[in-house]
Structure 1
Amino acid sequence: MRKLLIIISLGLFSATIHADIVARYTLGKETVVLSYKDAEHIRLDTSRGGYSLISGDRAVAVINQGGRQMVMDVDQMGAVISALRNKPKTEAIPTNDQVTITDTGEARQVAGIEGKVFMVNDGRQDYQVVLTDDKTVVKAGEAMAKFFRRFANSMNNEQGDRLLALEEVYRNHSHRGLLQAQGGLKLISIGEEERPDKIYNAPASAISFTMPGLTAPSNR
């Protein structure tokens, strides 16, 4: 009987613990940690203590404010930004054929992973990125891209549109695992770690911040 209870307990434990992809990046002086279970369970932590979640069809940011946690819906955040911005778009939004990724022929190793150096033009400026076709890094890159796509869509402005145009070009690229971006993220480690399901849910004790009367941008 005791053995049976132990087996059942282990079975229940294993049902809630998964070997998820965990990627750690530097972003300036900050550390960013991406946890990825699947396309509907993604978490992005920053060294400041806040984090963002994609959980099912919901995307939220959890912010530490005055010793309390506050949950903000990403789509509402986009509506707030649009309402406060209140300015016409002054720059033309690039089309996909204006966004380019060019192989420089240079190879570079980042976090022990071989990558290729590409020159990217987002329709406004050029910058270097190091990309790889490593399967684990590609999965992490796709998870990061989903975050960018969701948050960029919610921004509903020129900057968001540029991110969306760039992400569209990246989507079908052979090397879409991000190792390093000039002036941005740099991978420092990646692997699989056990993560409980509950980390992909917003804390029940957090204050939910909403803005009545604001309509969230429609998904594009």
Structure 2
Amino acid sequence: MTLEMRKTLLVIGGFCIFLVLLEECINSGHSKRHASRDGLATDELVEGMSQSRDGRIKILKEEDKVNAYKKTDVESRKIDKQREKEMADRIENRRRKEKQMAEQKKNEMRKEERELEIQKNRERKAKEEEIQRQRVLRIKQEQMRVKQLQARQENRGGSDLRVEKKKDEAEKVLEDDDEDEDVDTDVEEEKPNDSNNNDTQEDEEEYLNNVPDEEEEIENERLEKSPYILSPEQDKQL
């Protein structure tokens, strides 16, 4: 690039810079004037807006008062309804609790009555078992007594047989003595002894007859004193 071309470029660049600076100066003057006018308009606008805002605030305050009154009235009604509902729920809960307590008390009374009835049934059953046991015991005692009486009668019958046998033997001896009329004097002397033997046999027979009676009396006394024998009054109660 030659020197002349460089000079030309420098001149053109300087001229462009001058134009730019000039334009900036012109624009700055216009902006100041517009700014002053805009400031006045802005102040008026701000004042109007503030006035309108104050009016709107006043209106809003009035509306808030009205709304607050309405709100308080509605809320008070709502609160009253809620309180009434809570009171009704409380009364209902108290009634439900009272009903549950009454039902529980009734169930407890029924349980006590059932337990008393069970206790009475147990006592009655135990009493019946005791009566049955006494009855069985009395029957067994009667059976034992009958067996003892039968045994005594059998013993008495055996003793009677022995006495009869001895009587037969004695009668046979007497018959033999009657048949032997030609017996010597020694035999005649023995006859009183035979009569004495007959007397002893009769005494023995009376003794044997009396012994079972005495044994029977002793046994009867023992049975009467026994705690397992029931009296007629107890027998009637059974």
Structure of higher CA gyration radius: 2
TM-score normalised by L of structure 1: 0.16
Structure with more strand by fraction: 1
If the length of structure 2 is used for normalisation, what is the TM-score? 0.15
